[in-house]
Structure 1
Amino acid sequence: MRAMKELTGVTRERFEREVVPGYEPVVMRGVVAHWPLVAQGRAGLEPCLQYLMGFDAGTPVDAVLAKPDAVRAFTYKPELDGFNFMRDKRPYAALFEQLWRYSHFPDPPSLAAQSALVSEALPGLAQANVCPLLDAQVAPRIWIGNRATVPAHFDDSHNIACVAAGKRRFTLLPPQCAPLLYLGPPDHAPTPAPMSVVPDLHRADAVKFPRVSEALAQAHVAELEPGDAIYIPPLWFHQVEALAPHLNILVNYWWRPEAAPGRPDDLHPAAMRLAMLALRHLPDGEREGWRALFGHYVFGARGEQLAHIPEGQRHLFGDVDAARDAQIRDDLATQLKR
């Protein structure tokens, strides 16, 4: 394992010039230390929850509850035939009351409300706690709970995650570690993101999961305090441990650039699942042929490799405007309906 890169005094200009293009995780100390939410988080569980209740719209949010155990992870059941937690929807008032009660237990269940859209659940909170690194239209989400772990998984979006209360440990691994992480099926995971079946990489059973040690040799690890933020590049695996026993709050921002003017950049997970479906039945030799063609058409055909085609005649090899993007999507949708 290695320590994660850390920066202080990060401005938006430095973030866009230095952090995002580097395609590696970066801890940005103190970026949101000015937030009122951070001040309330430092004050303690009750003041922080009272502050949040001042923004509560009463909207039910997704909540998960798991029995206490040594790992405290929201993960698969041992046989992978389900998950080890219950999921329901409840208003923040009920969740906060339960967190307060659990704060008096020596070993409480793990409870969290995950990925609630701030504008819907806590209107006004985002305006009172502004991320200085992003445009206001990048919608924040909030994660509130006690001590728990989310196993290693990846997202296809850029991500800034800001610790507002408690403490979190982040373990990040590059996408190339995928074969070492014992990933579950992409269409059967505890969250919408594909996830490792290993509940906690740092406590992995070396006999059952021997490749994890090789993955951890490439891991970047950091602990964040209130006011700190981390940039997680797209496709980097991340295990996130909420460490404070009673209250941990994270506010995160996911975003992607536009694929074409007015067209969302949203096809990556669908493209991967479609490729798995389309190529799964082929013999090994033909699958290797498709691997080579994907390497060229999807990842390799740039610069000098396209010099033989006039720029105005590159079609899908070149720039795609919104109209052409829409036409291609429609063509693909028609083929999928056959």
Structure 2
Amino acid sequence: MQGLPPIRERFGCTPGQLPLDELLAAGEPVVLRGIGRGWGLVEAAHEGVAEAMAYLRGFDNGRQVPYSYGPPEIGGRPYYNEDCTALNFEVRRGSVSQVLDEVAAHLGDPRPPTYYLASLLVDESLPGLRAGNDLDFAAHGLQVRPSIWIGNRVIASCHHDVPNNIACCAVGRRRFTLFPPGQVANLYPGPLELTPGGQAVSMVDLAAPDLARFPRFAQALEHGMTTVLEPGDALFIPSMWWHHVQGLEPLNVLVNYWWGSMPAWIPAPMPAMYHAMWSLRDRPEAEKQAWRAMFDYYVFGDATQAGAHLPPQARQALAPIDEDMARQLRAMLIARLNR
């Protein structure tokens, strides 16, 4: 969007010198300019769209994968119908090469159909691609499986992801617009169950925000920031930051890396939120405020506070959760939910 401040930039990073500790410590978005400029796919993109497509086809193993198709009328925005009871696109299946062929057939169209291959695991359908197109997460002891996103001028409506994310623009250009997690109420999230891509998306059309219908979005704009990634650039998006992504060229390819900050035995928080909605949201206000105090004490406050006055052997779940305690909690919750 016009008028938003730029996201902070950092230069001189290379795939072998990924500053993960610094990025996580800062906890804010950062553009890593040119970090992937030596990738084979980026070099092919600089030669042209046909060369980039040929490069990708060279790794395609023919695996049939799901991709989104929308008619020209959706304007590149996979979204909802008028009453949010259905999506405005359909899911088809084909190989990466087939998706590229369909994109190629409409490169010159002013209003092409929408083609979007989203979050495809690179190693499963494009084996070998990582050899010349990768960031060195292994140097940090992390086994991160990258995903690839291929499409034309697609708009991914503003949404958040639970893991941390580094998104690397490989072909084309993409505009990112970001908002911090605390702006959730001002972004008017849509349905939780029916979503265009797995997460709730903002109901606000950032290309033409309707402030009469969504007046609090004006407050979100006060906290927004934006950038345009060129081939070879990457963007660090911290956990839970909202991001709107717009493909600006007839072919856009992005490779991203999601990774969590917690050990494997700590589950994703979303089921806990559903459980809280089920068990707490509709209670009388006095009860809700009482439970807010309990959550602040046991969950959102100092992690050591609730058990600090107890002997270590008596703390149980009030101590840091290890793998053994995680198994006990899981068994207890399953037993209670199954009553």
In structure 2, the residue corresponding to 1:39 is in which secondary structure?
helix
37-46 or 128-137: bigger deviation: 128-137
Does 1:160 find its partner at 2:163?
A: no
Q: How far apart in 1 are the matches of 2:222 and 2:90?
A: 34
Deviation at 1:290, TM superposition (A): 1.6
Q: Normalising to structure 1: TM-score of the pair? A: 0.93
Contact kept, 8 Å, 2:297 with 2:306, in 1: the verdict is no
Contact kept, 8 Å, 2:265 with 2:326, in 1: the verdict is no
Q: Please point out which of 232, 241, 247 is paired with 2:246.
A: 241
Deviation at 1:63, TM superposition (A): 0.9
1:294-335 per-residue CA deviation (whole Å, 9 max, x = no partner) reads: 122111033566542344543222222212211211111121
Does 1:181 find its partner at 2:187?
A: yes
Structure 2 residue identity aligned to 1:329:
R
Partner of 1:308: 309
Partner of 1:60: 64
Partner of 1:208: 213
Contact kept, 8 Å, 1:256 with 1:265, in 2: the verdict is no
Contact kept, 8 Å, 2:103 with 2:151, in 1: the verdict is yes
147-156 or 76-85: bigger deviation: 76-85
Deviation at 1:134, TM superposition (A): 5.1
Q: How far apart in 2 are the matches of 1:75 and 1:68?
A: 13
- Correspondence 1:125-204 to 2 at 5 A: 125-133=129-137, 137-198=143-204, 200-204=205-209
Structure 2 residue identity aligned to 1:95:
V
Unpaired runs of 5+ residues, structure 1, are: none
1:104-147 per-residue CA deviation (whole Å, 9 max, x = no partner) reads: 32221121111101111101111221213555720000000100
Partner of 2:282: 281
Contact kept, 8 Å, 1:32 with 1:228, in 2: the verdict is yes
Contact kept, 8 Å, 1:173 with 1:237, in 2: the verdict is yes
Contact kept, 8 Å, 1:175 with 1:237, in 2: the verdict is yes
Q: How far apart in 2 are the matches of 1:335 and 1:206?
A: 45
Q: How far apart in 2 are the matches of 1:109 and 1:285?
A: 52
Does 1:5 find its partner at 2:11?
A: no
Contact kept, 8 Å, 2:121 with 2:147, in 1: the verdict is yes
Q: Normalising to structure 2: TM-score of the pair? A: 0.92
Q: How far apart in 2 are the matches of 1:5 and 1:98?
A: 36
Q: Which runs of 4+ in 1 moved over 4 A?
A: 11-14, 133-136, 303-306
Q: How far apart in 1 are the matches of 2:199 and 2:99?
A: 24
Structure 2 residue identity aligned to 1:190:
P
Q: How far apart in 2 are the matches of 1:162 and 1:133?
A: 14
In structure 1, the residue corresponding to 2:149 is in which secondary structure?
strand
Structure 1 residue identity aligned to 2:283:
L
Partner of 1:74: 78
In structure 2, the residue corresponding to 1:74 is in which secondary structure?
coil
Contact kept, 8 Å, 2:173 with 2:228, in 1: the verdict is yes
Partner of 1:271: 272
Does 1:37 find its partner at 2:38?
A: no
In structure 1, the residue corresponding to 2:72 is in which secondary structure?
coil
CA RMSD, 1 decimal: 1.9
Structure 1 residue identity aligned to 2:327:
A
Q: How far apart in 2 are the matches of 1:109 and 1:2?
A: 32
Partner of 1:20: 24
Partner of 1:290: 291
Deviation at 1:188, TM superposition (A): 2.1
| Matched residues, number | 333
Contact kept, 8 Å, 2:76 with 2:153, in 1: the verdict is yes
Contact kept, 8 Å, 2:307 with 2:319, in 1: the verdict is no
Residues 26 and 265 (structure 1 numbering): CA distance in 2 closer, same or farther, change over 3 Å?
Answer: farther
34-43 or 161-170: bigger deviation: 34-43
Over the matched positions of the two proteins, sequence identity in percent amounts to 37
